[in-house]
Structure 1
Amino acid sequence: MSLVKKIQDKSARVGVVGLGYVGLPLAVLNAKVGFTVIGIDEVPEKVESVNKGNNYISDVVDAELKEVVESTRLVATTDFSVLRDCDIVLICVPTPLTKNKEPDLTAIVKVTEILSRYVHPDMLVVLESTTYPGTTEEVILPKLTQKGLMAGKDLFVAFSPERVDPGNRTFKTHNTYKLVGGVTDACRDVAQLFYEQSIVKIFPVSSPRVAEMTKVFENVFRSVNIALVNELTQLCERMKINVYEVIDAAATKNFGFMPFYPGPGVGGHCIPLDPYYLAWKSKEYDLHTRFIELAGEINEGMPYFVVNKLQRILNRYGRCLRDAPIFVLGVTYKADIGDPRESPATKVMALLLREGALLRYSDPFTPTLMLEGQEYRSQAITPDLLASSACALILTAHSAFDYDMIVEHAPVVFDTRNGTRHVTHHREKIILLST
């Protein structure tokens, strides 16, 4: 039976390599629509959790995971040899940076090496991991075709970037436009047919390079605009102008403006990393993407700006950072999710520890946190803890926080996220990034 026919009647076996924030939702979605899915991950704890139906990703519905596991439409394993039995392989592995801010494709290369042992005719292989333009054709394709398989004839290779927005209650994998770029037109068509089985909107593009560039561009766009507003925030602070009021006023324009908001830095697995993938690749073409790299520098400087401003706040009260009890509120990289990856909050906290501050924190999504080799535990926000702190430092504005109570009992509140915007009493205690 041809791969196209197997996709149409959902008899194709789907292998999802990497069961993290991208892979697990994708595995559950495909199992939910009727495919038999094998989840593959080198972390035994993840595999065990999946096979027990225990969810560890906020964007996956607990009941849906249990249902597809109990029906055996989804099973997980650490054994990569099961790839030989798969008709479709989706690669969803991390693409971090090295210490020198260069692309680290170790995971992609490793998976491709393993897959090259098991690749067979009439197989579809799709890379979903965010990476620089050219990765699919330069890194993956040569390995998969070294035994004589021809892309577009007996092997189908494509790039379809994940567009996961952790915590987004409106746009999930199934209702977010899916970009698909194939090595050949036939590769694109087969990949598109597969994704049409589970995703509402597909947007085909002419090549993997276009799809790769599009995904990186989306994140560069956010990085640059966040950097712009972060720099404007620093100017507004010196000019004693409330940057949030400026942004809200500018947003009344019905065209030509899109609001972005400042913060203590950028976090997650996309915005802090992906621009550097493009900047690195650009050097191959004798181009130095100064604008992109400058945006990264500005965003990376925000934790230092926050710590410096906190020191000045404490100075007003005759205190210094050393031995000052600071109550940090929120440590994940964005509100209302349990994802601490690249969180600017942890960077701010590490800087505070180096300055000798005494830290405690509260985060309903992060019960424990390792910082500078020491484990910290989340504490409940109480009037006594707030009152005994030199400052309540809001680094992530979770909706579960009682901001009225925080402002009522803390001696001063340094709010880097404007989480206290609806608090009407004791506004004199609240200090924002630009005030």
Structure 2
Amino acid sequence: MAPTVITQLNVKDIRFPTSLDGSGSDASHRPDYSCAYVELKTDTELTGYGLTFTSGRGNEIVSYAAKVFRRFVVGQKLADIFGDFASFYRKCANDDQMRWIGPEKGVIHLALSAVFNALWDIKAKMAGKPLWKLLVDMTPEEIVSVVDFRYITDLLTKEEALEMLRKMQDGKKEREAEIVANGYPAYTMSCGWLGYDDDQLKKAFKSGLAQGFTRFKMKVGGNIEDDQRRCKIIRDIIGYDKLLMMDANQKWDVQDAVDWMKQLTSFKPFWIEEPTNPDDILGHKKIAKELNPLGINVATGEQCQNRIMFKQFLEFGALQICQIDCCRLGSINELIPVILMAAKMKVPVCPHGGGVGLSEYARHTCIFDYVCVSGDLENRIMEYADHLSPHFENPNVVRNGNCVAPVTPGYSPILTKTAVENFEYPEGKTWEKYFADGTFPPVTTERW
């Protein structure tokens, strides 16, 4: 029997103590990788799961915000939700009181993403398909029907989107078969955390090479001497025939970013990611103007909060690599218009995948982009980080540096029962142990 209605919305605060070993560390953060984990129950056994990636103490706030969406979702018929998905999205994203504290951005939008990720999980499971396959099999008319085009029609109209999608119908089956056979190009982020010492760094990059990766990313922005030393270590291991990306995680002022990266040009970075404040569109444009002639692209987007900001980044030429985040934006309903705008502006989409569940989500959007929108793999690579993979039932799988197309019906990465038992905060077994013996991570210093 097919599900007909949403009966429950449950949320768990899941936190992993990654700050202890430096996994996830960068120039601005030493986080405990976390997620607000949403469970949508239906009137059958079918359950949808969705999450949004956060860090440590902030996860409690996002988890609470996700619970607020019960009033919109619980009791709703799935036929009504999916029958006019764009309108339902607008209703939830623009509630006249909740939007006051963040119209399509911030905590509310992060929470919204977790809920809508769970809805798309239900929709894909009902179709018996992995999410990417559900999207690939949708007609252009069905795809644009889930999009709220308000605020972006000065760059992309519904009619333009339809025309783009219809043009890409030719060759779609061949592109799908190619990805199923070969996978989607990926780079590893699991090697270059800023908190790793030199021995950890060497071991991680050698491991990445052994796994077949030819594309790597490192964190920069601690101090320039350390960055130069670490860059040399990495290039000595991987050589100069492989791609190396750099990520500053918003560390610098605009001119600092330019000056710093000019001192790293000899190491041939393909891009510098988040060189300055993620809201500073004009600042990114200034950085790009200085660094592009040196062969360094500017990449950003993991903290870009909605399609409207992406519209401006793309129109102003402030980024050369568009890094959508499947949890920062409002799920597939908002990812699709950004992917379409990027294609129109001929900017490659390389999703952010360095957090809890992000690379598991990103594989679906990457395949959709290639098969249905861009038809191009040049400079398109998805981020892969595996340090939390053991905690998922259906982790992202990479072979020879390429992400394997998932076959399991649904969208969301599902946490194992053991992971939930150990890492739900604060009653999980791991956290209970930390509280009992006083060895909890330094960034989580009290039991809220």
Fold match (TM-score > 0.5): no
State the structure with more CA Rg: 1
Bigger relative CO (Cα 8 Å, ≥ 6 apart): 2
- TM-score normalised by L of structure 2: 0.28
